[in-house]
Structure 1
Amino acid sequence: MEWTGARYADQPEVEVEAFVAAPPERVWPLLDPARMPPTSTELQSVEWIDGATGPAEGSRFRGRNAHPSLGEWSVTGTVVTCEPSSTLVWEMDSADVGEGMPSSRWTLRCVPEGDGTRVHQQVRLGPGRSGLSRAIESMPDKEQKIVFVRLREFEGAMTRTLEAIRADAEA
């Protein structure tokens, strides 16, 4: 994928995919964000809040993160699409409370393929502010490099997540 020249305001995105030798119905439960911290070097924990116990449209969760360059932070996510065995989409709140725009949008899709499932994971940055926004503001001349590096980090993390989902579903 080519990210050269991407700026945060462009809402850059990255997507990875993996084939899983299991039907979507077996893969789907593994897409719960609360299952993802063990596969991540950044996402430390996920806790469903406001009485939610798992993904459903409108359900919310709090994620706790740590990154060597960005520090530690918590952020709230809201599930905006939940179509069982098909599509799960959530948006993370902006770093500026009350801004009303998500700092990122995460999508997981299960597409039946033969006897298995093609799983796609995508993240789109912005349009709301995030910790990345602060990094860009402190080094505006390096914005494109900052965005490029962040998307590469997400690409690696999402690849590890899909590999873990594949291993669990195929076990």
Structure 2
Amino acid sequence: MRYAEVPSLSCEVYVEAAPSRVWSLVTDIALPARLSPELQRVEWLGGVEEPAVGARFAGYARHRLLGEWRTVSHVVELEEQRVFCWAVVDEDGRFGTPSRLPSHPLATWRFELAPDGAGTRLRHLARMGPGRSGVTLAIEGTPDREEEIVAFRITELRGNMEATLHGVKALAERAAQTPHWISA
């Protein structure tokens, strides 16, 4: 697959907890930094402290091949206890010309929740591009290996996404099983 095809992937897990509990975890933007090996920390921007369409947050990442960088994410879709989606842009120009346009992101991330029996079906989706990213830098360095580079990045992302999903599952299920009279 080529980068221009805007590769995407999704992972899914069943969580034995109510959607409201899962929602509180997936909309905690600091949580993935505790669960993912690449994302190091995040912070809300502009005085906002919770998800809302148009809200922005900075993410600080580290990768063994690219070093460290900052991105800015724009919440582009929010449906209470159903959908949390954000578009990631390169405001600092780490990967090329700086971009503030969430309509041309370097990646788009999404959580989808659906009630399923007594629990929640949680999907995590990612779409690479169409904006410039570390993947485009790697492709420019070795254009004859584009498909291999994209496949490698998809494998990395899948591992990070699965780590996040399993972390959310463990936290949500642990909280769901703790009797209310025991403080967390």
Q: Identity over aligned residues, as a percent?
A: 41
Q: For structure 2, which runs of at least 5 residues remain unmatched after alignment? A: 175-184
C-alpha separation between the residues in 1 aligned to 2:17 and 2:100?
A: 41
Q: 2:74 touches 2:88 (CA, 8 Å); kept in 1?
A: yes
> Aligned residue for 2:38?
42
TM-score (norm 1): 0.94
Of 139, 143, 151 in structure 1, the residue corresponding to residue 142 of structure 2 is 139
Superposition map of 1:104-119 within 5 A: 104-119=107-122
Q: 1:16 touches 1:122 (CA, 8 Å); kept in 2?
A: yes
> Aligned residue for 1:123?
126
What is the CA distance between 1:33 and its match in structure 2? Answer: 2.3
Superposition map of 1:1-171 within 5 A: 6-31=1-26, 32-94=28-90, 95=95, 96-98=97-99, 100=101, 101-171=104-174
TM-score (norm 2): 0.87
Q: For structure 1, which runs of at least 5 residues remain unmatched after alignment? A: 1-5
Query: What letter corresponds to residue 21 of structure 2 in structure 1?
Result: R
Q: 2:4 touches 2:130 (CA, 8 Å); kept in 1?
A: yes
The CA RMSD measured in Å over matched residues stands at 1.1
Q: 2:73 touches 2:86 (CA, 8 Å); kept in 1?
A: yes
Q: 2:60 touches 2:71 (CA, 8 Å); kept in 1?
A: yes
Post-superposition, which runs of at least 4 consecutive aligned residues in structure 1 deviate over 2 A? none
DSSP-derived class of the 1:9 partner = helix
What is the CA distance between 1:153 and its match in structure 2? Answer: 0.5
